[in-house]
Amino acid sequence: MHDNLFLSSVVEWSRLQFALTAIFHWLFVPLTLGLSFMIAIMETIYVKTGNEFWKKTVKFWMTVFGINFAVGVATGLILEFEFGTNWSNYSWFVGDIFGAPLAIEGILAFFMESTFIAVMFFGWNKVGRKTHLTASWLTAFGANLSALWILVANGWMQNPVGMEFNPDTARNEMNSFWEVLFNPTAINKFFHTITSGYVLAAIVVIGISAWFILKGREKLFANKSILVASVFGLLSSAVLIFTGDSSAHNVAHTQPMKLAAMEGLYKGSEGAGFSMFGIPTPGKKYGDGKDEYVFNLEFPKLLSFLGYRNFNAFVPGIDDLIKGGFKKEDGSTAISAEEKIRRGRAAIEAYQEYNKAKKEGNDVVAADAKARLEKNFKYYGYGYFNDPSSIIPNVPLCYYSFRIMVWLGFLFVFIFVISLWVVLKRDGNFGKWILYLSIWSVPLVYIASQAGWIVAEMGRQPWTIQDLLPTVAAVSRIDASSVMITFFLFFILFTILLVAELRILFAQIRKGPKISNESV
């Protein structure tokens, strides 16, 4: 009993520390992803036109990019080290698979990004225009290539494919690199995540430019920056919406409990509606008989279509996924969470018997145990639970985070459209309300970005690897006090870094590009 309490404490503090690091890291990454491409676009215009206006514009946004990039690297390195310090069981269990994309990211993508960023920042008077432009584009591609390999690793955690468990080493081993790389979950996650970064960067550029206009400064610079950002943001939003739809379809098939939590859906139905906005019943639990919502405004049958491309498809709710018994899309009958727990325990017991038989040299018993392990391995992780309701994530957090992300996304599309219209049709004569809305959208876009990750990561709890490894079995066996101490140290360190970054950034923005009298 004492050991269980110890593990629970370590698990919760380890999760909290990893969440802290990930949140701070993700404050910097999306701006890097999007701003790098907008810088490359603006520099392309400079190389084609030869106009010094665009060169000064590029240099200003490069400064914003550089400040953000430096802090992003620092938090990213800490994040990767935490896999070894706080989640060593996880690293052992799947290190052969999870480590491969991270190694490629470090050796190839990050190396490429770091190499060409030096030319990008310090090569203006040392290399030709086209060489410098090439370095800028390669920096942008390098940053996004880094994101690819990290998101491939994360996508595999959400939908583990292309691997086989080796009972002799107690490790999952990759048997298909291409299956891991082209995992539909990973592909959707990659494009959805990077385009969300593009939207964030576009909103930041528009917001900063709006501030200059409000201050009566650098109007030409601001309008041209808004023009580039609006077009870039609109195109990115189109891809973002498409990949969001694809992600919902994928989640319905690979993580139905996450979809149910995102919708606050307890009782499944055919032709299920999509909750546009609602208030889930506070304190509602599985099997308590309470209504799902205090209030709910829904779009009829849309959830069935989003999940299964059929307006009349059955969408299972939390109750259905716990109890089982419903017909799945492939015609099979869903088994209950209780049965999954039974099969998971059978897999764990078979693994233990296999190890014992191997040590004793009993090949017959070992072969039988291995066969039972392989038969039930799909549910291996369920064997760590006692209560079927333990597999339910935080429903209110998933529900509200998803709607914050979606509705703010539509607000940003509106900002892109109205900004583009004002620049092209009204010669950049913005109304004050548009400018203030654009400025206030900068913190809102960061909230939307974080909300997306809350849905993705909290929605798959309690799993580190979906169905195979729960967080309680993934954590390192270390003293909880060590994690507590480092949590507060990291919190202080990250806060100092954030404050320093914002002070430097705001100082550079106030300084401005100083090109108000230039002409295009």
Q: What is the mean pLDDT of the chain?
A: 89
Q: Say which amino acid occupies 427.
A: D
Mean per-residue pLDDT for 23-46? Answer: 92
Per-residue pLDDT at 42: 95
Predicted confidence band of residue 383 (pLDDT cuts 50, 70, 90): very high
Quote the tokens at residue 406: 């979606």
Contact 101, 149 (CB under 8 A): yes
**Number of other residues whose CB lies within 10 A of the CB of residue 68:** 22
| 3-state class (DSSP) for residue 165 | strand
pTM of the model: 0.92
**Number of other residues whose CB lies within 10 A of the CB of residue 352:** 13
| 3-state class (DSSP) for residue 356 | helix
Lowest average pLDDT, out of 86-95, 257-266, 462-471, goes to: 86-95
Give CA separation, 457 vs 175, 393, 399, in Å.
Answer: 26, 10, 13
Per-residue pLDDT at 70: 76
**Tens of pLDDT along 1-19?**
334 444 458 888 989 999 9
Q: Domain coordinates of the chain in residue numbers?
A: 2-165+173-205+451-511, 261-317, 337-388
Quote the tokens at residue 298: 């829904």
User: How far is C-alpha 445 from the geometric centre of its chain's CA atoms?
Assistant: 14
Q: Which residues contact 489 (CB under 8 A, 6 or more apart)?
A: none
Q: Which residues contact 456 (CB under 8 A, 6 or more apart)?
A: 154, 158, 189
> Greater confidence, 74 or 184?
184
Per-residue pLDDT at 110: 67
**Tens of pLDDT along 65-116?**
988 887 777 777 787 788 888 888 888 888 778 777 777 777 776 677 778 8
Q: Say which amino acid occupies 80.
A: E
Q: Report the alpha-carbon angle 268-274-278, nearest 5.
A: 100
Q: What are phi and psi of 269, to 5 degrees?
A: -160, 160
Rounded CA-CA distance 179/159 in Å is 11
Q: How many residues does the chain have?
A: 520
Rounded CA-CA distance 486/492 in Å is 10
Rounded CA-CA distance 406/104 in Å is 33
DSSP for 461-491? TTEEETTTEEHHHHS----HHHHHHHHHHHH
